[in-house]
């Protein structure tokens, strides 16, 4: 009798259970928001977060391939621009691909880590640091871009995420992190759908068009490939059997 009670007690505080529960609550909240007028104002900060993750992914890949970053800027409509200096064909291809795939990977990784029982507070801290680094690139190019809007949102998101990580109770931190992860995945899918539509119907300057310029492979191909890759990422982290090993740093 004692061992059964102890087993139930231990299960109650299992990190995997908490992560799944938070994801389910966040999914229900996300669905409910679609039926609430002006709900876009509620999720607008996450729209800005996704844009900074997108542009930060471009910047990170530029640095990883030996290039340099002049500036990052984001606009009120959720669009953004990363100015970088690259040498060679391969860096151009990798940097152009990094934006949408980076945003998709971030959202999927949040969901996957929560399902593995990773500490939501640590995920919030890591996200805060990443957004803070992207914001320094907004600041770096401020004289060139005049992007006060992007600087303000970057600073606000950095501070808010760190404050949430340090001050929120564990259950609230779990729910917030799950909500951010699901919203980021949905925003990434929406952006990729929009990109695919633009690639098919117009010649607008997009990452897919940059890929076309570098490879001569039509833009719709790249938009479709990135969309399928994003779906594969999400399917991977939602697969039925999830491993239990968590890096010690993330516990």
Give a yes or no: residue 9 inside a domain: no
Give a yes or no: residue 152 inside a domain: yes
8 Å CB contact between 246 and 116: yes
Kindly state the percentage of the chain with pLDDT values over 90.
39
Q: Which residues contact 141 (CB under 8 A, 6 or more apart)?
A: 70, 71, 72, 73, 83, 147
The values of phi and psi at residue 174, to 5°, are -60, -45
Give a yes or no: residue 30 inside a domain: yes
Closest CA relative to residue 99, chosen from 170, 195, 35, 13? 195
8 Å CB contact between 241 and 119: no
What pLDDT score was predicted for residue 37?
78
Chain segment 103-148, per-residue pLDDT in tens: 999 999 998 898 888 899 999 999 999 999 999 988 888 877 778 9
CA distance 30 to 42: 11
Give a yes or no: residue 170 inside a domain: yes
- Say if pTM beats, i.e. exceeds, 0.85: no
Nearest-5° Cα angle at 186, 43 to 81: 75
CA distance 137 to 145: 11
DSSP 3-state of 248: helix
Judged by phi (left if over 0) then psi (alpha if -120 to 50, else beta), residue 161 lies in alpha
More confident residue, 108 or 205: 108
List the structure tokens of 123: 């995920």
Give a yes or no: residue 110 inside a domain: yes
Give a yes or no: residue 5 inside a domain: no
DSSP 3-state of 118: coil
What pLDDT score was predicted for residue 93?
93
Number of domains in the chain: 1
DSSP state letter for 34: T
What pLDDT score was predicted for residue 18?
52
What pLDDT score was predicted for residue 95?
94
Give a yes or no: residue 6 inside a domain: no
Residue 187 lies in domain = 16-240
CA distance 49 to 65: 24
Give a yes or no: residue 3 inside a domain: no
Chain segment 5-60, per-residue pLDDT in tens: 343 334 343 445 555 676 677 777 777 776 777 777 888 998 899 999 999 999 99
């Amino acid at each position: 009798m004692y061992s059964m009670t102890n087993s139930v007690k231990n299960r109650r505080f299992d990190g995997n259970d908490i992560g799944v529960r938070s994801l389910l609550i966040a999914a229900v909240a996300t669905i409910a928001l679609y039926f609430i007028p002006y709900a876009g104002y509620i999720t607008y900060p996450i729209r800005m977060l996704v844009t900074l993750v997108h542009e930060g992914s471009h910047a990170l890949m530029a640095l990883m391939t030996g290039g340099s970053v002049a500036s990052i800027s984001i606009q009120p409509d959720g669009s953004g621009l990363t100015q970088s200096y690259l040498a060679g064909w391969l860096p151009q291809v990798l940097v152009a691909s990094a934006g949408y795939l980076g945003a998709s990977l971030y959202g999927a990784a949040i969901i996957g880590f929560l399902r593995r029982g990773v500490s939501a507070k640590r995920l919030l801290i890591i996200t805060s640091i990443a957004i803070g680094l992207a914001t320094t690139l907004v600041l770096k190019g401020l004289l060139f871009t005049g992007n006060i809007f992007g600087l303000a949102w970057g600073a606000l998101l950095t501070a808010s995420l760190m404050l949430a990580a340090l001050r929120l109770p564990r259950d609230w931190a779990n729910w917030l992190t799950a909500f951010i992860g699901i919203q980021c995945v949905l925003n990434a899918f929406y952006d990729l759908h929009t990109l695919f539509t633009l690639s098919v119907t117009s010649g607008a300057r997009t990452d897919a068009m940059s890929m076309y310029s570098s490879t001569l492979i039509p833009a719709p191909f790249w938009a479709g490939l990135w969309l399928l890759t994003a779906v594969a990422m999400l399917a991977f982290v939602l697969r039925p059997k999830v491993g239990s090993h968590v890096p010690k740093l993330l516990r």
